[in-house]
Amino acid sequence: MAHLESGNGWYRVVFEVQGERFAKSLNTLNTKSEKSANACLAKVNDNLRRVDLGLIGLGVSSGFTST
């Protein structure tokens, strides 16, 4: 399951896939975008569920940074 990290107006989504931790900035530069960050988090969690069910596969270049 993914979660949000935030600080001083920024948000990033963090999750693990196959034991590897990934993080991606949501480019939300003000605190009014918490609603947008939560919507993105819901989409990531839905996609992770689909990966677990085998409905979608993992691409080679996802744009996410391993941490």
Is 63 a member of any domain?
no
At 16, which amino acid appears?
E
Q: Could you tell me which residues are beta bridge partners of residue 3?
A: 14
Is 66 a member of any domain?
no
State residue 15's pLDDT score: 93
Is 28 a member of any domain?
yes
State residue 18's pLDDT score: 81
State residue 60's pLDDT score: 60
Q: Domain range holding 31?
A: 3-56
Here the tokens at position 21 are 């931790």
Is 61 a member of any domain?
no
- Average pLDDT in the 19-47 region? 84
Is 45 a member of any domain?
yes
Task: Name the pLDDT band for 63 (thresholds 50, 70, 90).
Answer: low
Average per-residue pLDDT for the chain: 83
Is 12 a member of any domain?
yes
Is 38 a member of any domain?
yes
Provide the domain count of the chain: 1
State residue 32's pLDDT score: 61
Task: Name the pLDDT band for 62 (thresholds 50, 70, 90).
Answer: low
